[in-house]
Amino acid sequence: MSTGLTEQETIRRNSLNELIRLGINPYPPETFEVNVKALEIKKLFPGDATLFQEARIAGRIMSRRIMGAASFVELQDESGRIQLYIKRDDICPGEDKTMYNTVFKKLLDIGDIIGITGFVFITQMGEITIHAKSLTLLSKSLRPLPIVKEKEDAVFDAFTDPEQRYRQRYLDMIVNPEVRDVFIKRSILVNSMRSYLNARSYLEVETPVLQPLYGGAAARPFKTHHNALDMVLYLRIANELYLKRLIVGGYDGVYEFSKDFRNEGMDRFHNPEFTQMELYVAYKDYEWMMNLVEEMVEKIAMDLHGTTVVQVGENMVDFKRPWKRFTMFEVIEHFTGINIDGKPEEELAAIAKQLDVPIDRTMAKGKIIDQIFGEKCEPYLVQPTFITDYPVEMSPLAKKHRTKEGLVERFEAICNGKELCNSFSELNDPIDQRERFESQLELGKRGDDESMVLDEDFLRALEFGMPPTAGLGIGIDRLTMIMTNSQSIQDVLFFPQMRPEKRITV
């Protein structure tokens, strides 16, 4: 009867059982106190050979060369790899040599996690090495890593298939440790942004993920049902309307790193679950917010790279202030030669057809303009650029422009051909806001499944009075892609959404 195990998996389970028979717990309950990391040793030891004479290090066996009574092992911990020198008479000082001859040589495998105590020295070949005085098995690996050879020098297969890497991120990070660097940089990026905002005394807050009405963006939501309340709830598509309620409540500046969810298509720039930071500051406008974005992103680049110039694909992107600024109509005319300012919906549809921009009957004026911009302009904006002053139809939550009829005070920052952030002078006129929501309802009737819903409680909050406010939403995943030169959003998410794995049944 087939066990469903490969030959290597069967061998490892047999080794597991033999370890237990010898009285060795393959998963011991005791702690192993680590006092040094591989990278620390490699950085400091050459300068001071008296250091690390009582080193305690733990990690995963990645290769080994067994040479009779002595062996060399490559150990990988969180910080990197380091060589171990393991001598039989050192780890088995008495008569019983079982720990070396049987356990180490025959029952341990590449991928097993061990703890080592010993001292650091430099071999005749000039390699920094830990001379082991004791060895402890901390975790037995029951599946082989994707390598060609198991018992001696490990040669790793190219674990490069994107689907397998994203499904088995834990394995991806073991055999491709550089992947971990991307997520370390992501953490530095978030902390840099948080420290920038905290230094300005803005309050970090939390708002509901489950919402009775979805709002704050034009997107399709995920829908669920709460049994106790017997009501429909939605995973938030944005947290904007809740954060603006807090501005109404009296805070002058609030922000949130939020997980948002949109039931839309997936590609290398879109995942159904994504992270953005939203910020709202009272008594400010979108011009002020443009300056904040420039300053904050420039700081992030410096914190990550020590320079404002970042390699993104084949391009060198410079985040040094000031960034270029164009209005929506200016940039469309620049790339298409057509001035669309003041054009009615029918004429815009004809222009889109002339430019081979795909549209459909559900698209009103705002969506047609957005399509033209997305197809003919956005991909060509490589250096960070602000696009400002959008048509009112495209921005139901933005304040009308103070001098330009039919426009709103809104900007998007575009970098490397994609939107990086979105910002408004927030609409605080409750009567105008109600009319905008009602226009969105009409778009929904036309078949636009990304149109906004009418939120009566949010309108009630506005009726109590919201001060002039600048709002910002900045995509953390997109920014991380740019700052780490990653080609896909899946590369900057630990566990991106995937289709169900196909399993072969016998």
| pLDDT tens-digit readout, 314-359 | 999 999 999 999 999 999 999 999 999 989 999 999 999 999 999 9
b/e code 402-412 from CB counts within 10 Å (16+ = b): eeeeebbbbbb
Q: At residue 446, does pLDDT exceed 80? A: no
Instruction: Give me the pLDDT at residue 342, please.
Output: 87
* Mean per-residue pLDDT, 289-316: 97
What integer pLDDT is reported at residue 504 of this predicted model?
52
Cβ–Cβ under 8 Å, residues 192 and 240: no
Q: Are 326 and 337 in contact (CB under 8 A)?
A: no
pLDDT, residue 153, reads 63
Dihedral sign for Cα atoms in the order 326, 331, 337, 342:
negative
Give the three-state DSSP class for 299. helix
Enter the tokens of residue 451: 């149109």
Contact 474, 421 (CB under 8 A): yes
Encoded amino acid at 246, one letter: L
How many angstroms separate the CA atoms of 340 and 407, rounded?
A: 13
SS3 helix, strand, coil % of the chain, rounded to 5? 35, 25, 40
Across the chain, what does the average pLDDT equal? 92
This prediction's pTM: 0.90
Distance (Å, whole) CA 361 – CA 225: 32
User: What is the share, in percent, of the chain residues with pLDDT greater than 70?
Assistant: 96
Q: In whole angstroms, what is the distance from residue 368 CA to residue 360 CA? A: 9
* Alpha helices, DSSP H, located in 279-327: 286-305
Residue scoring higher pLDDT (324 or 393):
324
Quick: pLDDT tens for 182-196.
999 999 999 999 999
Query: Of 16, 173, 162, which Cα lies nearest the Cα of 5?
Result: 16
Q: Is the pLDDT higher at 298 or at 364? A: 298
Per the CB < 8 A criterion, the answer to whether 41 and 130 are in contact is yes
Q: Estimate the crossing angle of helix 430-445 against helix 456-463, to 10 degrees.
A: 160
CA-angle at 67, arms to 63 and 73, nearest 5°: 25
Band (pLDDT 50/70/90 cuts) for residue 36 is very high
* pLDDT value at residue 506: 43
Q: What is the pLDDT of residue 197?
A: 98
Q: What is the mean pLDDT of residues 229-257?
A: 97
For residues 145 and 171, is the Cβ–Cβ distance under 8 A?
A: yes
What is the torsion angle, in degrees rounded to the nearest 10, for the CA atoms of residue 311, residue 316, residue 319 and residue 325?
-140
The rounded distance, in Å, linking the Cα atoms of 278 and 471 is 7
pLDDT score for 156: 58
* For range 146-161, the mean pLDDT: 65
User: pLDDT category, 445, cuts 50, 70, 90?
Assistant: confident
> pLDDT band for position 54 (50/70/90)?
very high
DSSP per position, 325-346:
EEEHHHHHHHHHS---TT--HH
> Among candidates 92, 120, 122, 123, which has minimal Cα distance to 105?
92
C-alpha pair distances (Å), 16 with each of 12, 139, 143, 147: 6, 10, 12, 20
Q: Which residues lie closer than 8 Å to 265 by C-beta, 6 or more apart? A: none
pLDDT per position as a tens digit, 194-224: 999 999 999 999 999 999 999 888 889 999 9
Burial (CB < 10 A; 0-12, 13-18, 19+), residue 267, is exposed
pLDDT for the residue numbered 158: 65
The HSE-up count of residue 366 (CA atoms within 13 Å, CB side) is 19
Mean pLDDT of 383-405: 92
CB hemisphere CA count around 19 (13 angstroms): 27
Domains detected in the chain: 7-157 (2.40.50.140), 179-323+383-492 (3.30.930.10)
